[in-house]
Amino acid sequence: MASIWNHRISLSLFGEAEGPAIGVVLDNLPPGEYVDIDVLARFMTRRTRSLFLPDDPNHQREQMDFPQVLSGLINNRTTGSPLCAFLNNPRGIQPLDYQDLSHLARPGAADYTGAMRYRGFADVRSGGHLSERMTIPLCFAGAVCQQMLERRGIYVGAQITSVHNIKDKPLSQTNVTKEELLTIRNRRFPVNDPAKGRKMLADIQNAMAGGETLGGTITCYAVNVPAGIGSPIFEGLENSIAQLVFGVPGVRGLEFGAGFDTAKMTGSQCNDPFYVDERGHVKTQTNHHGGILGGISSGMPICFRVAVKPTASIGKPQETVDYSAMTNEVLQSAEVSHPCLVPEAVPCIEAAMCIALVSHMLDYPNFV
């Protein structure tokens, strides 16, 4: 499976949703990097907690032990050898009876495509290796990279900019600050306007009560990234970000800066005029380019927005097929335990940005 990402640093995810453990190996990190375990735990908690499920152990699907580090970290500092961490699955190994496994393709899920790609041998329990649960070890890797960046003054944060038809006020793509990112990051529901967040949560709860699920958008920012990070064509900084972002299940769209709106602009409207500020730094008056030009950082905030689709499992019957018997069937309604993936996707998107930035900044003078 394509579970290895390699660009200066190497990232490998292993395990399956219903297996005994899932984990990550992060290779080629510089030695001597300090990892604050408490800060890492707070990052991981943002991914594993649930805003919607009752405090019932039977419903806490994502709750896992804190990652156990097997190698690559001694006295909270990286050793230069592969950093390997795994997380126990509290539900343990579920019995796998191929006779009882459903061959009904859930609309919106990867059951059918996974069966075709892996000839019917893939682990289908809760999505197996294709499950959104595999973003938990991704967040571990991102949390480590985030600490490396912040020690060098670079901060990454993301906000929920919409859920369904409710929109939050986005931060300024030109003047977003570290303080704004930290404020939103520390909120349980990461929005700029808490009143909008309450409306989003109410909409999600209403959808859940009606057996529906909702999608939304997330905008991610990185501030204080120096100019000159990245390369053109296939080695572009946005290329690396995009690869990792699309590794987060449920992401269906990605745009940098003004994105698709640039198609409606003229050149004079789209171009970002350069100027030298009072501290002698080259900046642009606007940031339609999202902080990246020609695959290389410009020194402006890096900004991109992703679209996250509604969760596939809904509480309504759906037409489908039995891909074993090749018959038309009706998939009965399922319990809506994840009415909206957007909140738990926020730290995953931040993790993708952090990993991509570190991978490119290893080439930057004096980074190591």
Tell whether the torsion through CA atoms of 81, 134, 345 and 356 is positive or negative: positive
User: Distance between CA 283 and CA 291 in Å, rounded?
Assistant: 10
If you average pLDDT over every residue of the chain, what do you get?
89
- Note whether 139 and 62 are within 8 A (CB): no
Sorted by sequence, the CB contacts under 8 Å of residue 47 that are 6+ apart come out as 62, 135, 136, 139, 344, 347, 348
Strands (E), 111-172: 155-163, 166-167
Backbone phi and psi for residue 301, each to the nearest 5 degrees, phi listed first: -55, 135
Residue 22 buriedness (CB in 10 A; 0-12 / 13-18 / 19+): buried
Give residue 176's identity as a one-letter amino acid code.
V
Q: Which of 188, 191, 187 is nearest to 166 (CA)?
A: 191
Among 3-12, 86-95, 100-109, the range of highest mean pLDDT: 3-12
Cα–Cα distance for residue pair 145/359, rounded to 1 Å: 9
pLDDT at residue 64 greater than cutoff 70:
no
Of 28-32, 48-52, 149-153, 194-198, the poorest mean pLDDT is in 48-52
Which CATH fold would you assign to the domain 4-361? Chorismate synthase, AroC fold (3.60.150)
Local confidence band at 353 (pLDDT 50, 70, 90 cut-offs): very high
Which of 357, 301, 305, 349 lies closest to 173 in space, CA to CA? 301
